[in-house]
Amino acid sequence: MNMQYPDFKKQEIELYDKIQKLSDEFDRLNKAGKDTTDTAQKLETVLKEFLLFRQQNVIKV
């Protein structure tokens, strides 16, 4: 899949932001001793999405 670099970068940043948000939420819940199952599942889904995105959009130099 050929993507324009700015579009690639925008989508990559959006995925990074989702990962960071869910990681922070997981840490907060874990420190509070609350159930992290839902957040962990969401994080897993976003990490898989990110991995697939990177595999499909490898920029060759």
Would you list the DSSP string of the chain? ----HHHHHHHHHHHHHHHHHHHHHHHHHHHTT---HHHHHHHHHHHHHHHHHHHHTPPP-
| pLDDT reported for residue 61 | 43
Query: Model-level pTM?
Result: 0.80
Residue-by-residue pLDDT tens, the chain, 61 positions: 445 677 888 999 999 999 999 999 999 999 999 999 999 999 999 999 999 998 887 755 4
